[in-house]
Amino acid sequence: MSRIDASSPVLQVRDLSIEFPTQQRHVTVKAVNGVSFDVYAGETFGVIGESGSGKTTLGRALVSLIPPTRGELLQGGVQPSSLSKKALREHRRDFQILFQDPNAALNPRMRIVDSVMEPLEVAGHRDQQANRAAALQAMARVGLPTEFAERYPHQLSGGQKQRVIIARALTLKPRLIVCDEVVAALDVSIRGEVLNLFADLQREFGLTYVFITHDLSVVSHISDRIAVMYLGSLMELGPSQALSEAPLHPYTQALLSAEPIPIPRSMRDSQRIHLQGEVPSPMNPPSGCPFRTRCPKAIEACAQSRPVLTEHVPGHWVACHLAGH
């Protein structure tokens, strides 16, 4: 754990909300709804939650691709909106995001090496030879031999394309990479390899990751801490092991019991919690606790006030009126 420096947060997120307009007047999609947390230098911060819980929207906001509707985001202690255009361009290199589908991120008509060099060119580096050398070095580092340089995306496998995308981000020497479902599209047999590559690169370059996935088995292996999102809100945040072994929020408990892998078969049927009902609409979230309409433990208080994320045991936070009861 010594690679992590908790005294120097790379991201400080304070009561961050992101809303999208809809066709209806005065109705918005509350994709992210008042979340607060820090991401420490050198850690892997996992974010889990069901589809539509706001993970991608949060991830895009963390690298300034979407402006906050309310609240504050500091990147390396700096508020991006306070920077001049030129300073912002420089600053943004430090905060990169990778998505699930490498095909969408690669131009099919560009050779691999040109794709890997592209961010350097966009960042204003004019020396083609130096850019090419940096690209080949990054490719070598992610396990892509030199002969791949002149190939086109269609000549590569899914795993190889995802390595190209990682190499592209590395050329900019970022401090933080948001990884949004980066292994979800890969064959199960090569997911482990790619996850190991992320871990190796972290050690080598002191990278910080925000690792977004709906697959708890992926995130619990790679993360130092995990945040659980539901309908745009943070329900629980804690050390990876504590959160997986002793979840405090009924929603996390339900997510874990729906996971086929980490729970012994003998325990599964009796422990499994079936979530009732649909996820409510983010245009009209429930009053109080957003999870209360599906929570097996909900009481009256849950409809009346929204539980605040509270430190229940050191380092382990939960937003639930019933935690500890």
Ligand X SMILES: Nc1ncnc2c1ncn2[C@@H]1O[C@H](COP(=O)(O)OP(=O)(O)OP(=O)(O)O)[C@@H](O)[C@H]1O
Chain residues binding Mg ion by CB under 5 A are 55-56
The binder of ligand X chosen from 23, 51, 82, 129 (CB under 6 A) = 51
DSSP state for residue 307 in the 8-state scheme = P
Q: Are 194 and 182 in contact (CB under 8 A)?
A: yes
State yes or no: residue 17 binds ligand X (CB under 6 A). Answer: no
The binder of ligand X chosen from 46, 119, 247, 282 (CB under 6 A) = 282
Q: Which residues pair with 18 in a beta bridge?
A: 32
Query: Of 264, 258, 182, 273, nearest to 219 (Cα)?
Result: 182
Question: Among 50-58, 143-151, 249-257, 293-301, which window interacts with ligand X (CB under 6 A)?
Answer: 50-58
The binder of ligand X chosen from 9, 42, 49, 174 (CB under 6 A) = 49
Question: Among 48-56, 76-84, 185-193, 289-297, which window interacts with ligand X (CB under 6 A)?
Answer: 48-56
Question: Among 47-55, 74-82, 106-114, 235-243, which window interacts with ligand X (CB under 6 A)?
Answer: 47-55
Amino acid identity of residue 55, one-letter, is K
Residue 23: CB partners within 8 Å, gap ≥ 6? none
State yes or no: residue 54 binds ligand X (CB under 6 A). Answer: yes
State yes or no: residue 68 binds ligand X (CB under 6 A). Answer: no
Rounded CA-CA distance 312/325 in Å is 11
Rounded CA-CA distance 22/186 in Å is 34
Number of residues assigned to the chain? 325
Q: Give the Cα-Cα-Cα angle 56, 319, 182 (nearest 5 degrees).
A: 20
Among Mg ion, ligand X, none, the one that 20 touches (CB under a kind-dependent 5 to 8 A) is ligand X
Query: Using CB under 6 A as the criterion, what x/- string covers residues 214-253 for binding ligand X?
Result: x---------------------------------------
Rounded CA-CA distance 277/155 in Å is 44
Of residues 48 and 169, the one with the C-beta less far from Mg ion: 48
State yes or no: residue 55 binds ligand X (CB under 6 A). Answer: yes
- Chain Cα centroid distance, residue 173: 19
Of residues 281 and 310, the one with the C-beta less far from Mg ion: 281
Among ligand X, Mg ion, none, the one that 29 touches (CB under a kind-dependent 5 to 8 A) is ligand X
Q: Are 17 and 192 in contact (CB under 8 A)?
A: no
* Residues near ligand X (CB under 6 A): 20, 29, 31, 49, 51-57, 214, 282
